[in-house]
Amino acid sequence: MNTLSLSEHEWSDKQLTPQTLESAVRFLWDDGYVVLKNVVSLSHIDILKKRTLEDLETILARPDAPFNFNTGNVQQDPPPFAPFLFEDVLLNPFVIQISNAVLGPRPLLGMYSGNTALPGGNRQPVHPDTSQLWPDLQHPTPAFVLVINIPLVDVDARNGGTEFWPGTHHDTSFSFHQGAPRVEEKHLAQWRTKRPPFQVELSRGDIVMRDIRMWHAGMPNQTEEPRPMIAMTHAPAWWASGEVAFARQDQEFFCHPDLGVRARWVEANTDYLHHNVAYDLQR
Ligand SMILES: O=C(O)CCC(=O)C(=O)O
């Protein structure tokens, strides 16, 4: 795995060295992902995990629960208001440096959501979250959206570590401008011989950043415990993502010189558990 552990200096300066930054950019370009070890406070992770597991009951009680591809993976937003907003989650300085280096100055946060892998679920079909910008490109474009995942529990193959297909973000032979994002078996077979997929292993406190085009799949959670994981996106301002509903009272929290937010400012008690919808669901 492409893993970066930060030095004490980087920690105290809240600043990556040029060498670490270059490694992160190179990992994202070459393979489509990079893991930053131990960059979120565990006390923040535990607060978010507790609330997320409480909220899960409400989401699963919905007759229209927002399952992704199958009933083993549910879309779940973290609480989008204080006291659940943490700088090392939403405005992580290391993540912001990397996304500025990859995407250009001051990208926008365009999604604050998550995926919970439920005990006993099936695997998802392999998919990218967004296609190449145009079909049949001769050369891949630079990255235009980064997905930032933060697991709220330790993750490995037992509890549904996401399956990654490194390098596939540059495969311009697959695009889904029409139809579903599911990658067909003929494409998977070609990659399997060239560069087989693997399941990510992450500890609480780690962050994984990935190019949104990289193929991946949510995997079965074979344990008794749900596996919650936050998902955010960073993208340049020209990328038309949706808006994230954050509380008006928290506007100041999001003022940052190097990261904007595509926000819809709402009242703090606005319902955040009933707005996602199921995606390409096969029951
Ligand atoms: O939950 C995961 O591990 C990945 C989920 C995913 O890729 C999706 O729902 O699009």
103-147: pLDDT as tens digits:
999 999 999 999 999 999 899 999 999 999 998 899 999 999 999
Considering the domain boundaries, does residue 222 fall inside one? yes
Q: Is 226 in the pocket of ligand 1 (CB under 6 A)?
A: no
Q: Is 115 in the pocket of ligand 1 (CB under 6 A)?
A: yes
For residue 227, give the ligand 1 atom closest to its CA. 1
Centre of ligand 1 to C-alpha 102, Å, is 23
Mean pLDDT of 161-177: 91
> Best mutation site among 73, 123, 183, 210 for ligand 1, i.e. most ligand atoms within 8 A of its Cβ?
73
Number of folded domains in the chain? 1
The terminus-to-terminus CA distance of the chain in angstroms comes to: 33
Q: Is the pLDDT of residue 274 over 70?
A: yes
Q: Is the pLDDT of residue 279 over 90?
A: no
Residue of 261, 269, 250 whose CA lies nearest to 96: 261
Considering the domain boundaries, does residue 272 fall inside one? no
Supply the pLDDT for residue 147: 98
Token pair listed for 156: 């490995």
Considering the domain boundaries, does residue 275 fall inside one? no
Q: Is the pLDDT of residue 281 over 90?
A: no
Centre of ligand 1 to C-alpha 216, Å, is 8
Q: Provide the CATH number for the domain around residue 91.
A: 2.60.120.620
Q: Do residues 126 and 216 lie in contact, with contact meaning Cβ atoms separated by under 8 Å?
A: yes
Mean pLDDT computed over every residue of the chain: 95
Centre of ligand 1 to C-alpha 118, Å, is 12
Centre of ligand 1 to C-alpha 50, Å, is 20
Q: What b/e sequence results for 12-51 when a residue is b if at least 16 CB atoms lie within 10 Å of its CB, and e otherwise?
A: eeeebeeebbebbbebbbebbbbbbeebbeeebbebbbee
Q: Do residues 212 and 176 lie in contact, with contact meaning Cβ atoms separated by under 8 Å?
A: no
Q: Is 68 in the pocket of ligand 1 (CB under 6 A)?
A: yes
Centre of ligand 1 to C-alpha 226, Å, is 13
- CA 13 from chain center: how many Å? 26
Residue of 31, 35, 14, 24 whose CA lies nearest to 102: 24
1-36 per-position pLDDT tens digit: 999 999 999 999 999 999 999 999 999 999 999 999
- Domain around 211: 3-266
For residue 229, give the ligand 1 atom closest to its CA. 1
Centre of ligand 1 to C-alpha 145, Å, is 16
Distances (CA, A) of 214 to 28, 59, 76, 126, 253: 10, 28, 22, 10, 31
Residue of 279, 33, 228 whose CA lies nearest to 146: 33
For residue 162, give the ligand 1 atom closest to its CA. 3
For residue 75, give the ligand 1 atom closest to its CA. 9
Query: Could you tell me the pTM of the whole model?
Result: 0.96
Q: Is 216 in the pocket of ligand 1 (CB under 6 A)?
A: yes
209-241 per-position pLDDT tens digit: 999 999 999 999 999 999 999 999 999 999 988
Residue 64 gets which letter from DSSP? T
For residue 68, give the ligand 1 atom closest to its CA. 9
Mean pLDDT of 193-205: 97
Instruction: Tell me the pLDDT band of 178, cut-offs 50, 70 and 90.
Output: low
Considering the domain boundaries, does residue 277 fall inside one? no
Considering the domain boundaries, does residue 93 fall inside one? yes
Supply the pLDDT for residue 177: 67
Considering the domain boundaries, does residue 282 fall inside one? no
Q: Is 73 in the pocket of ligand 1 (CB under 6 A)?
A: yes
Mean pLDDT of 235-253: 94
Residue bearing the CA closest to ligand 1, atom 6: 218
Q: Is the pLDDT of residue 179 over 70?
A: no
Supply the pLDDT for residue 242: 85
Considering the domain boundaries, does residue 257 fall inside one? yes
Supply the pLDDT for residue 283: 64
Q: Is the pLDDT of residue 37 over 90?
A: yes
Residue 136 gets which letter from DSSP? T
- 52-66, 173-187, 213-227, 249-263: lowest mean pLDDT where? 173-187
In percent, the amount of the chain with pLDDT more than 70 equals 98
Instruction: Tell me the pLDDT band of 57, cut-offs 50, 70 and 90.
Output: very high
Instruction: Tell me the pLDDT band of 194, cut-offs 50, 70 and 90.
Output: very high
Residue bearing the CA closest to ligand 1, atom 4: 218
